[in-house]
């Protein structure tokens, strides 16, 4: 669970020192800056709380469409392989024909992921990807950002608001706290992310 938009607005107002009904920093203005700050935070790293799983079946069409909230692919795994990413051009060069076999590679083209070799039949697969940030609009909307990192969002939003006011000293102060928050987030991710154990297929090698 995270913090609702209505509470984030109040945290930002408290930080920049404006009343709830300030004519300059209306809810609409704050929401725009909060969403902009969220987008900036999401661009800083591929955060684990944005990981999603798309379960699918690879068939002889040898391609599938990514979900609407897709931002980047982390991995594609079948019961046979962890597929290797390559460019679409390299895929066409390396797999020029229609050889049917177990897929080993994938490439992105126009929000479609193509796999090669072409599956001989239906193969179950798991597409692990990073989702785009959820833009907030309703009072009860919550970002995917964990509660313990909300202050980093507030600091970035406050910086954007201070820039809007042309208050450079305050903007610099908020930016410094934001950068400290991002560094803490990176350390937290490094501290909680562990190497995945090797997957072993029956009768296979490590």
Query: How many CB atoms within 10 Å of residue 100?
Result: 12
pTM: 0.81
Tokens, residue 118: 């072409």
- Tell me the three-class secondary structure of 39-103, residue by residue: HHHHHHCCCHHHEEEEEEEECCCCEEECCCCEEEEEEEEECCCECEECCHHHHHHHCCCCCECCC
Of 115, 86, 89, the C-alpha closest to 100 is 115
pLDDT in tens, 32-76: 999 999 999 999 999 999 999 999 999 999 999 999 999 999 999
How far apart CA 9 and CA 20 sit, in angstroms, is: 9
Confidence (pLDDT) at 123: 93
pLDDT tens for residues 109-122? 999 999 999 998 89
DSSP-derived secondary structure letter, 165: T
CB of 144 closer than 8 Å to CB of 2: yes
Q: Domain ranges in the chain? A: 5-47+145-192, 50-131
Q: Give the alpha-carbon dihedral of 30, 31, 32, 33, to 10 degrees.
A: 50
Comparing 46-55, 130-139, 163-172, 188-197, the range with the smallest average pLDDT is: 188-197
pLDDT band at 98 (very low <50, low <70, confident <90, very high): low
Burial environment of residue 153 by CB neighbours within 10 A (0 to 12, 13 to 18, 19 or more): buried
Q: How far apart are CA 168 and CA 165, in angstroms?
A: 8
């Amino acid at each position: 669970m995270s913090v609702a938009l209505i509470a984030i607005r109040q945290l930002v107002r408290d930080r920049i020192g404006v009343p709830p009904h300030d004519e300059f920093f209306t809810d609409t203005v704050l929401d725009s800056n909060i969403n902009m700050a969220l987008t900036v935070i999401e661009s800083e790293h591929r955060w684990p709380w944005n990981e999603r799983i798309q379960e699918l079946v690879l068939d002889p069409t040898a391609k599938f469409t990514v979900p609407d909230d897709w931002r980047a692919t982390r991995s594609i795994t079948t019961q046979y392989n962890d597929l290797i990413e390559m460019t679409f051009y390299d895929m066409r060069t390396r797999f020029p024909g229609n050889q049917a076999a177990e897929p080993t590679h994938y490439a992105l083209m126009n929000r479609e992921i193509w796999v090669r070799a072409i599956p001989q039949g239906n193969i179950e697969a798991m597409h692990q990807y990073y989702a785009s940030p959820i833009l907030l609009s309703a009072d009860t909307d919550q970002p995917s950002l964990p509660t313990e990192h909300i202050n980093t969002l507030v600091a970035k939003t406050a910086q954007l608001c201070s820039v809007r006011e042309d208050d450079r000293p305050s903007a610099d102060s908020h930016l410094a706290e934001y950068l400290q928050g991002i560094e803490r987030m990176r350390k937290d991710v490094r501290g909680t992310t562990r190497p995945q154990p090797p997957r072993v297929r029956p009768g296979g090698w490590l």
